[in-house]
C-alpha cells in the first residue's frame, strides 16, 4: 500500500469549461458508477443531485491517470460527501453497494425502459410505474392512451435503443445534406453533438444548418422537413440510401417555427450496392433499414457561432459554460446569444474562438469538450 504522505493529489480547475476532457477516461469504473447515480437522480426528478454526480464524474474523467488512493482526491473540486463515499466504496471493495442496488432496483429498471421510449419523460414513466406498468409488454397490455410520438417510439423501440454508428451518421449527413442543398443551395450544414466531439457512436445524429446571408434561413426548416417527408433515395459511394421521415415529434409545428426539431426517425434503408440509381430495384433496397433519431437545428448566420457552441455539448460542458458566464462574468450565454448583464448589451461573435475569448476562457476544441 502507498503511504498517504507519498501521494501527490491531483489538481483540476473547478469549471468543466476550463478543462480539456478528451474521450480518454482513466477512471471509467468510477465515472460509470457516478453517472448511473446521476441518471437515477435525473429520472427521479432530482436534478440538483443529478448535476452534483455529473460534476463529480467529470472531475474524475479529467484526471491524467487512475485514482488508486482517496488521498489523491484531496482538494479536488465538485467532489461532495456522497460522491466521495461511492468512490471510497469502489476503491476498497471493487463495487459500490448503492450503485449495485440502484442498478438492480425494479424502479430504476422500469424508469430506464419506459423513458427509453421516444416521447416519454420521467413524469409519465413515474405515473405508469405507480399504475403497475414496468415494461413494454405491460404498457402494450395496459390500454394506456399514447400520443403519436409515444406510439412511434414504442414501435421503433429496439432501433432507437441501438447506438448510431459514425458510418450511419455520415450516411445520414449525406441524405440531410442533399435535402438542404436542394431546398437552399447556398445553405451550410454541420454535424454537431457527440459526433463533432469525436465520439464513434451516439443516441442520435445532430445537425446545425445556416445560410451565409442573414434572413435567407427563414422558411428553410419547413421546406427541409417537407423534402425529407417525401421519400428520397440517393447514392453515396457504394451505399444506396433510401430515407423517409416516418414521424416528426409531437410539437412539430411549434418546433418547426422555433427551428429546432427532433425527428423520429429518419428511416434509412442502407444497402451496399454496386448498382446505380436507375437500375436499383426496390427489392435490393428492402434488405434492411433502421429508425435513427435525428435532431435538426436551423440558425441565422448572426447566431451561428452560439448555436454551434451550444449544440456541440457535452451537456455538462454546456451547463458549465453557462454557469461560468453567469457566476464569473455576469453574462448570460445561450445557443442564440451572449448578453453582458452589466453593460446591458449583446456581444457579437462569429466563431467559437471569439465566444471563449469574450468569456475569458482558453479555447477548448470540440474533441476536448467531452466532460
Could you list the residues known to form a binding site for Mg(2+), using ranges. 204, 206, 295
Cβ of residue 370: shortest distance to ligand DCP, in angstroms? 9
Q: Based on the shown chain and the rule CB under 6 A, indicate whether residue 202 belongs to the binding site for ligand DCP.
A: yes
Q: Based on the shown chain and the rule CB under 5 A, indicate whether residue 204 belongs to the binding site for Mg ion.
A: yes
Handedness of CA 48, 51, 57, 58 (dihedral sign): negative
- Distance from the first to the final alpha carbon of the chain: 31
295 is catalytic: yes
Q: Based on the shown chain and the rule CB under 6 A, indicate whether residue 50 belongs to the binding site for ligand DCP.
A: no
Site size toward ligand DCP (CB under 6 A) is 12
Side-chain-side CA neighbours of residue 74 (13 Å) = 8
Largest CA distance in the chain: 74
Of 172, 311, 320, 352, the one binding ligand DCP by CB under 6 A: 311
**Residue 320 contacts which entry, Mg ion, ligand DCP, none (Cβ below 5-8 A, type-dependent):** none
CB-based contact 60:41 (threshold 8 Å):
no
- Considering beta carbons, is residue 139 or 260 the nearer one to ligand DCP? 260
| String marking each residue 229-258 x if it binds ligand DCP according to CB under 6 A | ------------------------------
**Residue 315 contacts which entry, ligand DCP, Mg ion, none (Cβ below 5-8 A, type-dependent):** ligand DCP
Q: Based on the shown chain and the rule CB under 6 A, indicate whether residue 322 belongs to the binding site for ligand DCP.
A: no
Residues 6+ apart with CB under 8 A from 281: none
DSSP result, 131-172: TT--SHHHHHHHT----HHHHHHHHTHHHHHSPEEHHHHHHH
Q: Which chain residues interact with Mg ion by CB under 5 A?
A: 193-194, 202, 204, 206
Q: Which chain residues interact with ligand DCP by CB under 6 A?
A: 193-194, 199, 202-204, 206, 311, 313-315, 318
Residues labelled catalytic: 204, 206, 295
Amino acid at each position: 500500500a502507498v503511504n498517504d504522505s507519498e501521494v501527490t493529489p491531483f489538481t483540476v480547475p473547478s469549471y468543466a469549461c476550463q478543462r480539456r476532457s478528451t474521450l480518454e477516461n482513466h477512471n471509467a469504473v468510477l465515472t460509470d458508477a457516478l453517472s448511473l447515480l446521476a441518471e437515477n437522480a435525473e429520472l427521479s426528478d432530482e436534478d440538483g443531485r443529478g448535476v452534483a454526480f455529473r460534476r463529480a464524474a467529470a472531475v474524475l474523467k479529467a484526471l491524467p491517470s487512475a485514482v488508486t488512493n482517496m488521498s489523491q482526491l484531496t482538494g479536488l473540486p465538485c467532489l461532495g460527501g456522497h460522491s466521495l463515499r461511492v468512490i471510497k466504496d469502489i476503491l476498497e471493495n471493487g463495487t459500490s453497494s448503492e450503485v449495485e442496488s440502484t442498478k438492480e432496483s425494479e424502479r430504476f429498471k422500469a424508469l430506464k425502459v419506459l423513458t427509453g421510449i421516444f416521447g416519454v419523460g420521467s413524469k409519465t414513466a413515474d405515473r405508469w410505474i405507480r399504475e403497475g406498468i414496468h415494461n413494454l409488454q405491460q404498457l402494450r397490455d395496459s390500454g394506456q392512451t399514447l400520443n403519436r410520438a409515444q406510439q412511434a417510439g414504442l414501435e421503433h423501440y429496439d432501433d432507437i435503443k441501438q447506438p448510431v454508428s459514425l458510418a450511419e451518421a455520415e450516411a445520414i449527413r449525406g441524405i440531410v445534406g442533399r435535402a438542404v442543398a436542394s431546398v437552399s443551395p447556398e445553405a451550410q450544414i454541420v454535424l454537431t453533438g457527440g459526433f463533432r466531439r469525436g465520439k464513434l457512436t451516439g443516441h442520435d445524429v445532430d445537425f446545425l444548418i445556416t445560410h451565409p446571408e442573414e434572413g435567407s434561413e427563414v422558411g428553410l426548416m419547413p421546406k427541409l422537413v417537407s423534402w425529407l417527408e417525401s421519400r428520397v433515395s440517393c447514392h453515396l459511394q457504394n451505399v444506396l440510401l433510401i430515407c423517409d421521415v416516418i414521424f416528426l415529434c409531437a410539437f412539430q409545428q411549434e418546433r418547426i417555427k422555433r427551428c429546432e426539431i427532433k425527428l423520429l426517425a429518419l428511416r434509412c434503408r442502407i444497402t451496399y450496392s454496386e448498382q446505380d440509381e436507375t437500375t436499383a430495384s426496390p427489392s435490393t433496397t428492402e434488405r434492411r433499414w433502421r429508425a435513427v433519431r435525428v435532431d435538426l437545428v436551423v440558425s441565422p448566420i448572426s447566431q451561428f457561432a452560439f448555436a454551434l457552441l451550444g449544440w456541440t455539448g457535452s451537456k455538462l460542458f454546456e451547463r458549465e459554460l453557462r454557469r461560468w458566464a453567469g457566476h464569473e462574468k455576469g453574462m448570460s450565454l445561450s445557443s442564440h446569444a451572449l448578453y453582458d448583464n452589466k453593460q446591458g448589451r449583446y456581444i457579437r461573435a462569429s466563431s467559437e474562438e471569439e465566444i471563449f475569448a469574450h468569456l475569458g476562457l482558453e479555447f477548448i476544441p470540440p474533441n476536448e469538450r467531452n466532460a
